[in-house]
Chain A
Amino acid sequence: MVETAYLLLGVAWCVHLWPAGRRFALPALGLTLAAWTVALGQRAAEAGHWPLANRYEFALTLTWMTLGLILLLEAEGWRRGQAAYAVAVAFGLATYAVTRSADQKAIAPLLPVLRSPWLQLHALTAALAYAGQAVAAGAAFDLLRHPDDGTAAVMVRRMVGVSFPWLTLSILAGAIWAEQAWGRYWGWDPKESWALILWLWTLLPLHLAPLRRWRERRLAMLALVNFALVIFTFVGVPWLVRLVRLESLHGY
Chain B
Amino acid sequence: MTEQLERRRHLARRVKRTAARLLGRLDGAAGLTALLAVAVGLGTLFPQGAAPDALATRYGERTAILNALGLFRWYETPVVVLLLGMWGAHTVTCTLLRWRGIWRGVRQGKGEATWATLGTHLAVTLVLLGGWLTASQGWRADVTLPVGGMAALGPVTVRLDAFTVDRRPDGSVRDYVARVALTVDGTVAEREVRINAPLVRRGVRLLILRYAETDERRVVTFHLSRDPGYPLVVAGGTLLALCAAVTFYLPPERGAGAEERDG
Contacts and interface: CB of A to CB of B under 8 A. Distances in A.
26 contacts: A109-B174, A112-B173, A118-B196, A165-B242, A168-B241, A175-B237, A180-B197, A181-B196, A182-B223, A183-B207, A183-B223, A183-B225, A184-B227, A185-B134, A185-B230, A186-B233, A188-B48, A194-B44, A197-B37, A197-B40, A200-B37, A207-B30, A207-B33, A244-B44, A245-B47, A247-B48
A162 interface: yes
B151 to A, nearest CB: 16
Given A112-B175, A204-B30, A180 B198 contact: yes
A111 B237 CA distance: 27
A60 B30 CA distance: 33
A168 B244 contact: yes
Contact of B196 (A113, A203, A247): A113
A182 B209 contact: yes
A20 interface: no
Interface residues of B, number: 60
B172 A109 contact: yes
A247 B47 contact: yes
A183 B30 contact: no
A247 B43 CA distance: 12
Interface in A215-252: 237, 240, 244-247
Interface in A177-215: 177, 179-186, 188, 190, 193-194, 196-197, 200-201, 203-204, 207-208, 210-212
Interface in B39-73: 40-41, 43-48, 50, 58
B244 A115 contact: no
A211 B241 contact: no
A174 to B, nearest CB: 10
B200 to A, nearest CB: 10
Nearest to A241: B44
Contacts of B162: none
Contacts, number: 142
Contacts of B249: 162, 165
B238 A193 contact: no
B115 interface: no
Interface of A: 109, 111-113, 115-116, 118, 158, 161-162, 164-165, 168-169, 171-172, 175-177, 179-186, 188, 190, 193-194, 196-197, 200-201, 203-204, 207-208, 210-212, 237, 240, 244-247
Interface string B211-240: 000000000000111010010011001101
B248 A203 contact: no
Main secondary structure, interface of A, reads: helix
A171 B168 CA distance: 31
Contact of B237 (A168, A180, A197): A168
Contacts of B170: 109
A228 to B, nearest CB: 13
Interface stretch (B8-16, B100-108, B178-186, B253-261): B253-261
Residue of A118, A176, A193, A208 with most partner-chain B CB within 10 A: A193
Contacts of A194: 41, 44
B33 to A, nearest CB: 5
